[in-house]
Structure 1
Amino acid sequence: MNVELQFGANLLGPTLQEARVGEVVLEGLDAADGVPLRTVCWLADHNPDRFAAALAADPTVADAMQVVTTPHGTQFQVTAAAECPAAELYAAAVGNGGVFLTGTAEQRRWTLRFRFPGRDALSSFRAACEQTGLDVTVQDVHEQDAAANAGRHGISPAQREILVLATEAGYFQVPRESSLADLADELGVSSQAASERLRRGLDSLVDSALLTPE
């Protein structure tokens, strides 16, 4: 099953505030010996230098590097400082069979999506969070069939979510029955993040369905 949860985390918070960025998309999470938590994040912004400078001065960040820059944004790899509650959350999730799918980071809040083997694993994860004093709120739980189907088309659960919402809200109708701001408000993200999710979801869907040889 797929679970969306919110977590009060300050990792990247100083960077997001200093660089005046509402949120970034989290494309990967992992940990290793000597590395409490490492994330790959996507910045849909045309000023990556300002973001990189903010990362360099961020006390919650131990190390950061710019991975790739495209006309649509920049990918960064960020290693958290040693004391990082988000690392405890990640360890609790992985220890109960959780697999990270996608997420977003804001100044004081992360929204993360994990896949768990079942409700027992989710209950054990929540109990582990309570024992370590982690402030985690489960926002949504659903079976993974829809997300698995989305994965076969090369799109993430977050991209599927906005594509479905845009269709149901009449965003693709002529004339449009809803705006990008409407979609962003419904999902609780910035218009910039909504635009990036929608664009990348459409790109992936077209590439998988129309451009990839059978």
Structure 2
Amino acid sequence: MTTVVELGISADRLGLARTFDRVSAFEFQIGGMIGGSPPLVWVNGGDRDTVRRALEADPSVDVIASVADDGGKATTDTGTTTDPNDRWLFRLEFGDGVKLFEQIVTENDGAILTARGREGRWMVKLLFHDRESVSACHDLLEQYEFGADVTRISGIDDLASAQTPLTETQYETICKAHELGYFDVPRGVTLKELAAELDISHQALSERLRRSHAALVSAELSDRSAPMEIDP
């Protein structure tokens, strides 16, 4: 079943962290990343020269070209014209973090539909042909410590009927933890023992449980169940 996955990853892991640090209002949007060629990236925040200098000084990216802009006009304290809605189009060559991420996605029969960023985080939308590919990709992202937070999973066929904010992996983890008494008082199994049972690291299990709890609490407080608002 075709599945769309939306996730967030820190710019420290994927790239542009230095630009976010230097330009507090910096945001970007990429329409798609196909074939490994340097993508066209819409950026905004501050004025064009400030953003360009920040990008050129960022070791995680190379500025191939400055292409176009589509913004309005206003006068700044320095006499230049700018507008909060100004956007500038750059062709950027990303570094090893993005290249490894692309490789993991494509080798699991996935595609990067869009990528955008603000406040030091990337929000990426991925397309997969089946849930098995999603699981395999997520496992590799954990293995390479991308720290990916899944925010939504949409199945084309069952989006309207989704009844849980958890991913399949999260659901299986919570079920196993409950089965072995991890949530009992006193606990029937330790975190270390549960990690061994699931054949994952202590840290990976701790993070998975924490994000699962956050997803369940968020779903309960917001009273939303479809589409799946999740954080694995």
Q: Which residue of structure 1 aligns with residue 6 of structure 2?
A: 4
Structure-2 separation of matches of 1:30 and 1:63: 18
Residue 103 (structure 1) aligned with residue 107 (structure 2) = no
- Summarize deviations over 1:134-161 as a string: whole Å, max 9, x none: 22121110024799xxxxxxxxxxxxxx
Aligned length: 142
Q: 1:115 deviation in Å? A: 0.8
CA contact (8 A) 2:27 2:45 kept: no
Structure-2 separation of matches of 1:70 and 1:63: 19
Matching residue's letter, 1:139: T
Q: Which among 135, 143, 148 is matched to residue 123 of structure 1?
A: 135
- Summarize deviations over 1:162-212 as a string: whole Å, max 9, x none: xxxxxxxxxxxxxxxxxxxxxxxx9xxxxxxxxxxxxxxxxxxxxxxxxxx
CA contact (8 A) 2:24 2:119 kept: no
Q: 1:89 deviation in Å? A: 1.6
Q: Counterparts in 2 of 1:129-140, with a 5 A limit?
A: 129-140=141-152
Matching residue's letter, 2:50: R
Structure-2 separation of matches of 1:107 and 1:26: 16
Q: 1:31 deviation in Å? A: 5.5
Structure-1 separation of matches of 2:9 and 2:56: 24
Residue 78 (structure 1) aligned with residue 92 (structure 2) = yes
Q: Counterparts in 2 of 1:47-66, with a 5 A limit?
A: 47-66=47-66
Structure-2 separation of matches of 1:146 and 1:65: 42
CA contact (8 A) 1:92 1:129 kept: yes
Q: Which among 19, 28, 35 is matched to residue 24 of structure 1?
A: 28
CA contact (8 A) 1:12 1:58 kept: yes
- Summarize deviations over 1:27-74 as a string: whole Å, max 9, x none: 232454xx7xx4432124572222111111111123332122123521
Q: 2:59 is paired with a residue of what secondary structure? A: coil
Structure-1 separation of matches of 2:70 and 2:158: 30
Matching residue's letter, 2:111: V
Give RMSD over aligned pairs: 2.7
Matching residue's letter, 1:50: T
Structure-1 separation of matches of 2:23 and 2:149: 27
Q: Which runs of 5+ in 1 are unaligned?
A: 148-185, 187-214
Q: TM-score, normalization: structure 2?
A: 0.53
Q: 1:75 deviation in Å? A: 1.2
Which structure has the larger Rg over C-alpha atoms? 2
Structure-2 separation of matches of 1:24 and 1:146: 31
Q: TM-score, normalization: structure 1?
A: 0.57
Q: 1:105 deviation in Å? A: 1.8
Identity of aligned residues (%): 22
